[in-house]
Amino acid sequence: MIDNLPSYITLTFGLTTVATLLLFIWTVRNSNSEPTRKKAAPIFIGLTIWLTIQAVLTLKNIYNADTNSFPPKIVLLGILPIILTIMLLFLTSKGRQFMDSLPLKNLTYLNIVRIPVEIVLFWLFLNKLIPELMTFEGRNFDIIAGITAPFVAYFGLTKHKLSRPKILIWNFVCLGLLINIVLNDLLSAPSPIQKFAFDQPNIAILYFPFSWLPTFIVPIVLLGHLASIRQLLKQQGDIQANEKTTNG
C-alpha cells in the first residue's frame, strides 16, 4: 500500500476494478450462446483468483522490490500470462468461438470503465505517483474512449444509427489510444527499459491496488476491442460475400 495516499483514490480504483470484472461477466452472461453463458461462473472464479494472486504479489512487494530486474517482474508475472491467454483465445477454435459469441453492445459499454481510470490517474499524478504524461493533461487521451463508448453502444448498436464500418473505425481508434497509454505507462515506470519521466516516474502500478490496472483492467479492455474488431471484420466480410453472390 502507498503511505499517505487519500483513501478515496484507493477506494475509487478498487471499485473500478470490481466494476470491470462485473461488466465483463455481464457481457459473458448476455451471450446468445448457451455454452458461453455457462462459462460465466468459472470465468468469474478464475478472474477473482487472478486478482487475488496479483494482490498478494503486490502486497508482498514482489513488483517494487527490485526495479532493475529484466524483464520487469510485473511484466513477467502480471502482464505476460494474461496476454498469452488472450493470444490463446485467438489461436484456438473454441477461443475464437467464445470471442465471436460475446455481444458487441456489451463489449462496447465495457469501455465506460476508462472514465474512472483516467480520473484516478489524474489524482495519482497530483500525488506525485505517476508522471503528467499518463494523464489527460499529458499524452493520455484514453478518456475519449470512455466518454464516447455509451453513445456508440446506444446509437450504433441499439438504435442502428451508425454503420458497422464507423463502429469498426471507433474500435481501431480506441485501441490505438489504449496502446498509446500502455506504452507510455511501461516506458515511464522504473525499470531498465524506462525512457520517460525520470523526475516523477510511474511507481503507482507497482503498488496495491493499482497493479490491477496493467494486469487486469487493460487486458480486459484490450480483449473487448480485439473481439469487437474480429466480429465487425467478419460481418463486413459476410456482407461483401453475400453481395458478390447476389450480383453473380
Per-residue pLDDT 10s for the chain (248 aa) are 787 899 999 999 999 999 999 999 999 999 999 999 999 999 999 999 999 999 999 999 998 887 787 888 999 999 999 999 999 999 999 999 999 999 999 999 999 999 999 999 999 999 999 888 888 888 888 999 999 999 999 999 999 888 989 999 999 999 999 999 888 888 888 788 777 767 788 888 999 999 999 999 999 999 999 999 999 998 876 666 666 666 65
Tell me if 233 is assigned to some domain. yes
Euclidean distance between CA atoms 63 and 94, whole angstroms: 33
In a domain, 104, yes or no: yes
Domain range for 133: 7-239
Residue 153 lies in a domain: yes
Distance CA 94, CA 24 (A): 18
Is 247 domain-assigned? no
Question: Domain for residue 107, yes or no?
Answer: yes
Query: What is the distance, to the nearest Å, from the Cα of residue 39 to the centroid of all Cα atoms in its chain?
Result: 20
Residue 244 forms part of a structural domain: no
Residue 60 placed within a domain: yes
Q: How far apart are CA 129 and CA 123, in angstroms?
A: 9
- pTM of the predicted model, to two decimals? 0.92
Total of domains in the chain: 1
